[in-house]
Structure 1
Amino acid sequence: MKKLLATLVTVFMICMQITPVQAAKSTEDKNYNYVDAFSKSILFYEANWCGPDAGNNRLKWRGPCHEDDGKDVGLDLTGGFHDAGDHVKFGLPQAYAASTLGWAYYEFKDSFVKKGQDKYMLNILKHFTDYFLKCYPNKTTFYYQCGDGTTDHSYWGPPELQTLDITTRPTLYAATPDKPASDVCGSTAAALALMYINYKDVDAEYANKCLTAAKDLYDFGKTYKGLSESGGFYGSTGYLDDLSWGAVWLYAATNDNSYMTDIDSFLTAKGIGGDNSYSNHWTHCWDDVFGGVFVKLAQLTNNPKYKAIAEENLNYWIKDAPTTPGGLKYIASWGTLRYTAAECMLALVYYKTSKNEEYLNFAKSQIDYMLGSNPRNSSYEVGFGNNYPKNPHHRAASGRMEGAPGYEKKTDPEKHLLYGALVGGPDGTSDDYSDDVNQYVNSEVAIDYNAGFVGALAGMSNYYGGDNLPEDVPGIEANSPQYYVDANIMKESNEECTIQAFIHNASLLPPHYEKGMSFRYYVDLSELYKKGYTVNDVGVRANYAAGGGTLSGFIPYDEAKHIYYVEASWPGQLYGKAEMQFAITAYNAKCLDASNDFSRQNLKSDSTNISENIPVYKNGVKIFGNEPGSVEVKTGDVNGDNTVDGRDLMELRKYLAGNNPNINLKAADLNGDGIVNGRDLVILIKLISGKQ
């Protein structure tokens, strides 16, 4: 998200001249299921998927979003990936992530295929390149940023709900001869060239289209030299590395030596020409891809100079890089693990050439730290291992909407687990980590963070994966209904009963606005009628209504039994929650007794809880809860015999097998996600066995 200070943080870390310390071994040496960590690291990209086809993958809690991208310039620029916890499509990290993931697939294709991840990775890579091709309508125009970081970061909510009436989403920057962006063009050309290499045996026509675009975009960036813009979030420090990166992969794709000649000229301009060497103590990242450039040059050319530069970098990381007490190599505080993960990828790729066990051992030690071998014995990959982060800085996983119309908080429990995301990581002095969504320096995730991580885990799966396989793809984590009311009693006497109620649209598959929602609060006025009063002696007033809510007067439900209701309605868009405080009053009668009210049952004065006796309606049709006199449905009572036992398990299994349509779907939806599937079966088994 907020990369504005990243350069200052980096300079600060370098200036500190941290003295390396002896790595403290926090846990015994162990082998993790690197294959499962690998598969989850790929799944993360499906959470950051942007465009009208979002949700057409394994994460059904994502859905179509940002379907107007590019309309302001008369183009369809939908697609691509959200940058991080935000929803901007920034140029440099997008190009870096696409090219680094393509490189990972190129180097460790066997791991992707053997572990069943090739179809997912190719799908992700194609989504990147489909977007790049859209952004390149002619040879001298390349659109590279959709969204403004400043305005985008003012919004916290699911991407599906970020419409143009909430935040503007301009096509902010384009590379042209007048405003060149050689860095973005060079790295995007690398991604497209890699797509040609990786995809030519899958779809030769599409692969050749990518190669043609790669050549043209590279020539454009080389001819019109200049740095890209980002609005201050990804400040580029150079373009010679990116042009070299593009040339490396165009050479690999075409075997055209002119690209090697270009690289020589770029390195000479960098001061690395002739006998001049280069001490690169950084790593492969969005602003500096020289780490990848020199590893590939060493492999492609066998030139001793390139080999020396690549090995000097690796040896610096192994022997001299600042190290935390727990053993993590630590070169920057902002998103530190992305850098270490990328260096692990370099080491594992270069090990293929050098066979130097030091590189393999280095990568294993650092990846093991990320997966749990650290002083906290905690994984830094969401959804993997022990005590992993539950509150990454990520709007889609949070599922909460701050401000209108959601009125939630980003610090509320996150609705989803962001499986596979690598968080920024711990601090550098004590290996501490705060699982706090607001501490984005440590808790944010991003497509550039996971790029090197995917590559490193592909290598780890190759060298240490053995016969391990990924675990099952995780499902929906929700364990509550999508629509409901929770409420509490604020004041209660024989004159007044004041209720605070919140109506919820917690839709998940995917998040979406609802219109025409309401809830009904049922009261029994028989105690007043017994004393000679009527409904005309009882009043109702709204003390507070959020989100455009309105409150009706008393509406008869069963006049013979003196049962009435008041209806709180939200005719406009609703997502998240909206509050209604209202009072039932009998100031003249002074004989109000709320204890017999249907909707008063189970409400507390000291806490708020969900009430099925305050039913929810959509355009007048009940979608949650019970009405007076209705039969209460017991969760898990699938066959309707008022018990939850093995017979319900049998009926649910038949239903899932397609053999029995006559079950109570509401009772069978045990996790409240609006569908009945195998996840409900798992919960029912636990319920019957007494484990839930």
Structure 2
Amino acid sequence: MEEKNRKKQVQYHSGASKISNFGQWSTILFYIFMTIFTTANAFDYMDALSKSLLYFESQRSGRLPHNQRVTWRDHSGLTDGLEQGVDLVGGYYDAGDHVKFGLPMAFTVTMLSWGAIEFRREIVAAGEMEHAMEAIKWGTDYFIKAHTSPNVLWAEVGDGDTDHYCWQRPEDMTTSRQAYKIDENNPGSDLAGETAAAMAAASLVFRTTNPHYSHLLLHHAQQLFEFGDMYRGKYDGSVGVVKSYYASVSGYMDELLWAAVWLYKATDNEEYLEYVLNKAHIFGGTGWAITEFSWDVKYAGLQLMASKLLVEEKQQQHTQILEQYRSKAEYYICSCLNKNNGSNVERTPAGLLYVRQWNNMQYVSTAAFLLTLYSDFLKSTNQNLTCHEGTIGHEEIFSFAKSQVDYILGSNPLNMSYLVGYGSNYPRRVHHRGASIVSYRENKGFIGCTQGYDNWYGREEANPNVLVGALVGGPNSDDDFMDQRDNYVQTEACTYNTAPLVGLFAKFLDSEGKKLLEENQNSHLVASY
């Protein structure tokens, strides 16, 4: 990200096998039919889903595979880690620059994996499970490399300050590729915890299709959790260069609890559950009432996952603590729905959740994800949500979550799709080095640091390459948006913006399909009557 000296206030292959049976094809054909015959106002969630997964191919670092679909990109960062004697080739660039930041990358993979777990059936039905697994595996393959020994994890490749003096394609990169690590003497419990969560979640995604890889991921996740818990400290205290970009404002306690709950989900080992329960109070799990969920602040996601354990019969003895987790989870949900007593997430005049000026859409996509999950949870357990301002059913929660995603896709005052490449009206001047300069595959002539600024950064024309599937920072508090390359507060996109949308697009595609089917059946009943 381009932000410097951010002072953020925290408000308390893939082993995927192609499934090509008749059932899947009939479902896909139905969705095609649905796309053709839905009203002009409906959104094409199938198209949005496909495009959201393309974005992660645009952000790849390393040697690109033969099946790379984003053809304006080429190999980059092929010597990453060489100076330190370790192979750190691969992974993702976080945004429009070329630094590989470990914390947001891990959160991206956690959210991709969570979506693939919760909405697996819907993603499979849409024919995108293989691409989703490839997106996850590109991250986890890198984490395996970066975790060079039980108590060593490489945290960052590249330096944000020097990187931001350059405007180059990743294929031309001349900036520092210095790598930074955390270890026993330089702890980073937040980074170790989030990476453990990502690998534990991903292990669940690959469990049936690639059990060996799933086991390997789980092994790394367990080691990383033990490392983070034994040698406690914030990673930005050990890796000072990250402070201006991804400082760990919330600390590491949320990540350790978050990792433990994911490890419990992945292993069913009671020790991890005991960790979540025993440290619930001292680590803030049942104390912090939060109104954001992000790469830095995991409490709301943790609290929601803990809440869902309440329906398991074997957890009856832990009801008291789990109910405290649920209370805080519902505080978050109620704050998004504007149903708390005074402490709610702000909204723009058109109804978009608004947490803060910089890259606000990241908070919108994560909120929509948690709201949708909680709606499903309430529906499956036949419960309602009780907020200070009243009782709310699962339908209302689901509808609001969908309204946020539909705003992203164009249901807003500007009729602007903030998902790049979707629809006809979307940001054309995304703040992104690779997208804004002629493709390396078209012109292999070297473009230097200042040359990129002189010849490409200030151009008024649209970017020569479309960053398909990227969710940009989005509009301001008045629903206004300026599509300018230097307006990085609004036009830069990040991997963790799009990650929660993958599962959501599949979910809404499925939901719209069922709704249309019911409407057609009802109309036939009326006609026959």
TM-score range (shorter-chain normalised) is 0.7 to 0.9
Q: Deviations over 1:254-293 (max 9, x none)?
A: 11111111112432223455xxx542222x2100111211
- Which of 399, 403, 407 is 1:361 aligned to? 399
Equivalent in the alignment of 2:358: 334
**Runs of 5+ in structure 1 lacking a partner?**
16-27, 469-692
Equivalent in the alignment of 2:32: none
2:335 is the counterpart of 1:316:
yes
CA distance, structure 2, for counterparts of residue 343 and residue 409 of structure 1: 35
Q: Deviations over 1:297-337 (max 9, x none)?
A: 11123433222222221111111321111111111111111
Is the 1:397–1:418 Cα contact (8 Å) retained in structure 2?
Answer: yes
CA distance, structure 2, for counterparts of residue 200 and residue 77 of structure 1: 25
CA distance, structure 1, for counterparts of residue 283 and residue 373 of structure 2: 25
1:275-294 to 2 correspondences below 5 Å: 277-282=287-292, 284-294=293-303
Equivalent in the alignment of 1:47: 58
Query: Structure 2 vs 1, CA of residues 225 and 288 (structure 1 numbering), >3 Å: closer, same or farther?
Result: same
* Greater share of strand: 1
2:247 is the counterpart of 1:235:
yes
Aligned length: 444
**Alpha-carbon offset, residue 368 of structure 1:** 1.1
Query: Structure 2 vs 1, CA of residues 71 and 140 (structure 1 numbering), >3 Å: closer, same or farther?
Result: same
* Greater share of helix: 2
Q: Deviations over 1:535-586 (max 9, x none)?
A: xxxxxxxxxxxxxxxxxxxxxxxxxxxxxxxxxxxxxxxxxxxxxxxxxxxx
**Alpha-carbon offset, residue 457 of structure 1:** 2.3
2:430 is the counterpart of 1:392:
yes
The two structures have a TM-score, normalised by structure 1, of 0.62
CA distance, structure 2, for counterparts of residue 250 and residue 368 of structure 1: 33
2:216 is the counterpart of 1:168:
no
CA distance, structure 2, for counterparts of residue 379 and residue 278 of structure 1: 34
Q: Deviations over 1:378-433 (max 9, x none)?
A: 111111123110011111111255656665221333111111110100010x2110
**Alpha-carbon offset, residue 85 of structure 1:** 0.3
- Which of 178, 194, 210 is 2:185 aligned to? 178
Query: Structure 2 vs 1, CA of residues 110 and 423 (structure 1 numbering), >3 Å: closer, same or farther?
Result: same
Equivalent in the alignment of 1:422: 471
Query: Structure 2 vs 1, CA of residues 449 and 5 (structure 1 numbering), >3 Å: closer, same or farther?
Result: farther
- Which of 256, 263, 268 is 2:269 aligned to? 256
RMSD of aligned Cα (Å): 2.1
Equivalent in the alignment of 1:595: none
Equivalent in the alignment of 1:214: 221
CA distance, structure 2, for counterparts of residue 467 and residue 271 of structure 1: 41
Equivalent in the alignment of 1:410: 457
**Runs of 5+ in structure 2 lacking a partner?**
13-38, 237-241, 312-321, 339-343, 380-393, 439-446, 517-529
The two structures have a TM-score, normalised by structure 2, of 0.80
Give the number of the structure whose alpha-carbon radius of gyration is greater. Answer: 1
CA distance, structure 2, for counterparts of residue 124 and residue 458 of structure 1: 15
Query: Structure 2 vs 1, CA of residues 399 and 55 (structure 1 numbering), >3 Å: closer, same or farther?
Result: farther
Q: Deviations over 1:98-126 (max 9, x none)?
A: 11111110100112111111111111111
Percent identity over the alignment is 35
Equivalent in the alignment of 2:279: 266
Equivalent in the alignment of 1:198: 205
Is the 1:240–1:267 Cα contact (8 Å) retained in structure 2?
Answer: no
Equivalent in the alignment of 1:601: none
- Which of 48, 52, 67 is 1:37 aligned to? 48
Q: Which amino acid aligns with 2:134?
A: N
Secondary structure, in 3 states, of the residue corresponding to 1:367? helix
Where relative contact order (Cα < 8 A, 6+ residues apart) is larger, the structure is 2
1:455-474 to 2 correspondences below 5 Å: 455-465=503-513
1:643-662 to 2 correspondences below 5 Å: none
CA distance, structure 1, for counterparts of residue 177 and residue 92 of structure 2: 14
CA distance, structure 2, for counterparts of residue 416 and residue 170 of structure 1: 28
**Alpha-carbon offset, residue 352 of structure 1:** 1.5
Is the 1:54–1:64 Cα contact (8 Å) retained in structure 2?
Answer: no
CA distance, structure 2, for counterparts of residue 403 and residue 91 of structure 1: 24
